[in-house]
Amino acid sequence: MSFNYSRIIIKIGSNVITRADGLPDAERITHLVNQIAEIKKQGIEVILVSSGAVASGRSLISVSEKSDAVAVRQLLASIGQVKLINTYSHLFGKFSILCSQVLVTKEDFRDRLHYLNMRNCLEILLQHQVIPVINENDVVSVTELMFTDNDELAGLIASMLNAQALIVLTNVDGIYTGDPKLESSSIIKEVNDAGIDFASFVSSGRSQFGRGGMITKSTIAHKVAKLGIAVHIANGTKENILTDVLANKVIHTRFTPTKKTSGKKKWLAHSENAATGVVQVNEGAKTVLISSKASSLLPVGIISIVSDFKKGEIIKIVDEHNKTIGLGLAEYGSDKARELTGQKNQKALVHYDYLYLQG
């Protein structure tokens, strides 16, 4: 049985695009573009999240090893992104397909208006049959402003565009039960909502040119699947991998999508870093909020306003043990919330439509 998706995000990792010597693998990129063109011909909308700017830069310039690592990354990415996008543009052009360059930073996902502007841009590209090729803007994203890696970025894009699936291509067949190099390890074919402790068997090690490693892939995949989007982690170095994944013909790891979530909640799900305020709730409120019943956060269940916020800002909701249980959009500021804390029959601080609860 093949998967019937109409909109997919494909993430191509550094290790898929890069040869062992650190230079871009032109043959592989060509093969992937050929498959994407084939998928597009079937009427499936495709958004590409592609790493490879740094690797492409490496093929164009040599830099002294003594130079500052952050500056070198900026230099390589700045030069390399031009080559990367030119490669895609040339290869897609052979199929008369237009692609576009979209470079983003973590900041672009913070503010809802900015987020919606970005979404509108991607939607109009898709409406015009263009394949957006997205990468982090490595030239301005440094240290704490960076995404953990492009897996995190791909997860955000999948949520933003209500995609049905996210396909993450890496250099192993999927998530293994242990070190992929050991014979005793096997591929986990299906992950469902039951919740697996990935950290217990996925090592934090990364492959040569990767940034986040398999741990970020697992965490992001789990989060995205819980928002109702299927996630496939597969080996991008294998022949016909994309068409085979969609035809369900190849062994890989698939995270089963669970409940459907609204666009607003999907945005909130990825907004922890943008939260300004923190609100602590009691056990009763926690139970009601995480139950299957749709409930808003009312002042009666609030114990304290831990840090300040203004109306319309994102707040983190924590339980009595300071564990984060969700994120929401404040209907009013922290001054008013403090006045109402513990009181019955008051206006909700977070309306259910603007409340995302981590499960």
Ligand X SMILES: Nc1ncnc2c1ncn2[C@@H]1O[C@H](COP(=O)(O)OP(=O)(O)O)[C@@H](O)[C@H]1O
Ligand Y SMILES: N[C@@H](CCC(=O)OP(=O)(O)O)C(=O)O
| Closer residue to ligand Y in complex, CB, 53/99 | 53
Does position 141 interact with ligand X (CB under 6 A)? The reply is: no
11 annotated among ligand-binding-site residues: yes
Does position 18 interact with ligand Y (CB under 6 A)? The reply is: no
Considering only CA atoms, which of 269, 266, 260, 255 is closest in space to residue 324?
269
Question: What region, left, alpha or beta, does residue 357 occupy, with left being phi > 0 and alpha being psi -120 to 50 degrees?
Answer: beta
Spatial distance between the Cα atoms of 118 and 108, rounded to a whole number of angstroms: 8
Query: Site size for ligand Y, by CB under 6 A?
Result: 16
Considering the complex, what minimum distance in angstroms separates the CB of residue 153 from ligand X? 11
Does position 14 interact with ligand Y (CB under 6 A)? The reply is: yes
Going residue by residue from 206 to 235, which x/- string records binding to ligand X, judged by CB under 6 A?
xx--xxxxx---------------------
Spatial distance between the Cα atoms of 335 and 268, rounded to a whole number of angstroms: 23
Strand 230-235 relative to strand 99-104: parallel, antiparallel, unpaired?
unpaired
Residues 6+ apart with CB under 8 A from 175: 187, 188, 191, 198, 202, 214, 217, 218, 233, 253
Instruction: Out of 203, 248, 322, 343, name the contact with ligand X by CB under 6 A.
Output: 203
150 annotated among ligand-binding-site residues: yes
Query: Site size for ligand X, by CB under 6 A?
Result: 22
Spatial distance between the Cα atoms of 277 and 297, rounded to a whole number of angstroms: 14
Does position 13 interact with ligand Y (CB under 6 A)? The reply is: yes
Instruction: Out of 9, 79, 166, 202, name the contact with ligand X by CB under 6 A.
Output: 202
120 annotated among ligand-binding-site residues: no
Considering the complex, what minimum distance in angstroms separates the CB of residue 140 from ligand Y? 12
| Closer residue to ligand Y in complex, CB, 141/334 | 141
Spatial distance between the Cα atoms of 24 and 50, rounded to a whole number of angstroms: 12
Interface positions, 178-197, toward ligand X (CB under 6 A): 180
79 three-class SS: helix
Tell me 144's DSSP state. G
Tell me 218's DSSP state. H
Residues 6+ apart with CB under 8 A from 120: none
Going residue by residue from 160 to 179, which x/- string records binding to ligand X, judged by CB under 6 A?
----------xxx--xx---
Does position 134 interact with ligand Y (CB under 6 A)? The reply is: no
168 three-class SS: strand
323 annotated among ligand-binding-site residues: no
Instruction: Out of 8, 44, 47, 54, name the contact with ligand Y by CB under 6 A.
Output: 54
Binding residues for substrate: 51, 138, 150
